[in-house]
Chain A
């Protein structure tokens, strides 16, 4: 009887551990948003990322539609190449969609904002986003402002 009790409690302990792991996976590290659903990958070339990293959000009209999966440097153009995974339910992005690197708040994290174009055909797996706008680097902006002040 006593041994059965011990077994029951150890079993409960193990179950608690597994529950905690599941909570960690889905509630805390948000694994579900990564794993669920099919995605397709599109690419874009930016002159300056200004701090955009892997796992940054890709949003359209403020709604998250995907994530940045890979950031590399294109040696030919000396530009950054960003690969992003777009949820396949959003498979109706026109092929002249443009991408811009935006900042959440003044000092918040960088994300990619898409704005749709007007073409009739849609972006497919592996397509390039042609029209891109680099991140606004605050230091450049300030120095340009100060330079103009000094001249004028």
Chain B
């Protein structure tokens, strides 16, 4: 009995301390500069490994999500005789919700886990300690370019997800189901607003990119330097960042739409 209460207390204290370490890591690694700091080329290389390599999964997923949205929407809207609203439905769903959220979830699985494993392995093989011995700050050298690469990449990926999805929806609606393509595009153009829908969706993706990458690098940096510890940290990255994305999505939507 006493033991279980003690464990509960320890878990609470541990998680608060862990948040403190994560905050500390963020503050120290968000800015560039310092001894042995990563250069611009490291940043480019990280965008390549985080963003460009996630491109294929994002594009394929976006295309299928757009197609299935159009198919489902068509079957529902045709009952109310308002199939012409299909383009609006597909584009708003993708821009406001599915683009940022799905891209962030896929990003967490594809890039976040890889980041954690990479940094965890660097720690386990004492590369990070070796950097410290050489007077190089591993936070500036390793974490900073990865963090920024994630922040830059995810909005672009989310945008591409929505774009491909909208064209995927057009493919199903116009080419396969025979909807008049003027109805699909012009209703979309009348309803979708650039600042309200596109930019707010991009802002969401920016926040998700920051949070997912932050969780990934922190879990890697804070992992136990064993093979088991790296495995655990990778799992934690995917689980925590997926939940964080879904939770934050609700909060951001509530704040931006208002009314809650």
Residues of A within 8 A of B (CB): 3, 6-7, 9-10, 12-14, 16-17, 20-21, 23-25, 27-31, 33, 55, 57
Q: List 11 A-B contacts (CB under 8 A).
A: A6-B48, A10-B47, A17-B160, A20-B160, A23-B163, A24-B159, A25-B198, A27-B189, A29-B194, A33-B189, A55-B190
Contact B190 A13, beta carbon cutoff 8 Å = no
B155 to chain A: closest residue by CB: A17
The answer to whether A29 and B159 touch (CB under 8 A), given A10-B47, A13-B51, A13-B52, is no
Contact B198 A17, beta carbon cutoff 8 Å = no
Taken together as a complex, chains A and B put the C-alpha atoms of A23 and B162 apart, in Å, by 11
Taken together as a complex, chains A and B put the C-alpha atoms of A13 and B155 apart, in Å, by 12
| Residue B260 lies at the interface, judged by CB distance under 8 Å to chain A | no
| Chain B interface bracket (under 10, 10 to 19, 20 to 34, 35 or more) | 20 to 34
Contacting A at CB under 8 A, from B72-98, are 91, 95
Knowing that A17-B159, A24-B162, A57-B190 touch, tell me 10 more A-B residue pairs with CB under 8 angstroms: A12-B52, A13-B52, A17-B160, A24-B163, A28-B189, A28-B192, A29-B189, A29-B192, A30-B192, A31-B194
Taken together as a complex, chains A and B put the C-alpha atoms of A3 and B41 apart, in Å, by 9
The answer to whether A29 and B52 touch (CB under 8 A), given A6-B44, A17-B156, A20-B163, is no
Contact A24 B156, beta carbon cutoff 8 Å = no
Contacts of A28 in B (CB 8 A): 91, 95, 163, 166, 188-189, 192, 198
A68 shortest CB reach to chain B, Å? 12
Contact A10 B192, beta carbon cutoff 8 Å = no
Residues of B within 8 A of A (CB): 41, 44-45, 47-48, 51-52, 55, 91, 95, 153, 155-156, 159-160, 162-163, 166, 185-186, 188-190, 192-194, 197-198
Contact A30 B189, beta carbon cutoff 8 Å = yes
Contact B160 A16, beta carbon cutoff 8 Å = yes
Contact A6 B45, beta carbon cutoff 8 Å = yes
B47 shortest CB reach to chain A, Å? 5
Is chain A's interface secondary structure helix, strand, loop, or mixed overall? helix
Contacts of A29 in B (CB 8 A): 189, 192-194, 197-198
Is chain B's interface secondary structure helix, strand, loop, or mixed overall? helix
Contact B160 A27, beta carbon cutoff 8 Å = no
A26 shortest CB reach to chain B, Å? 9
Taken together as a complex, chains A and B put the C-alpha atoms of A23 and B55 apart, in Å, by 18
Taken together as a complex, chains A and B put the C-alpha atoms of A24 and B162 apart, in Å, by 9
Taken together as a complex, chains A and B put the C-alpha atoms of A13 and B145 apart, in Å, by 17
Name the contact of B159 in the complex, choosing from A6, A9, A20, A27 (C-beta under 8 A): A20
The answer to whether A10 and B198 touch (CB under 8 A), given A16-B156, A30-B192, A57-B190, is no
Contact B156 A14, beta carbon cutoff 8 Å = yes
Name the contact of B52 in the complex, choosing from A3, A9, A21 (C-beta under 8 A): A9
The CB with the most chain B CB atoms within 10 A, among A7, A20, A55, is that of A20
Contacts of B44 in A (CB 8 A): 6-7, 10
B62 shortest CB reach to chain A, Å? 11
B195 to chain A: closest residue by CB: A29
The answer to whether A24 and B198 touch (CB under 8 A), given A7-B44, A10-B48, A13-B51, is yes
B121 shortest CB reach to chain A, Å? 21
A13 shortest CB reach to chain B, Å? 5
A34 to chain B: closest residue by CB: B194
Contacts of B189 in A (CB 8 A): 27-30, 33
A31 shortest CB reach to chain B, Å? 5
Taken together as a complex, chains A and B put the C-alpha atoms of A28 and B153 apart, in Å, by 22
Contacts of A21 in B (CB 8 A): 159, 198
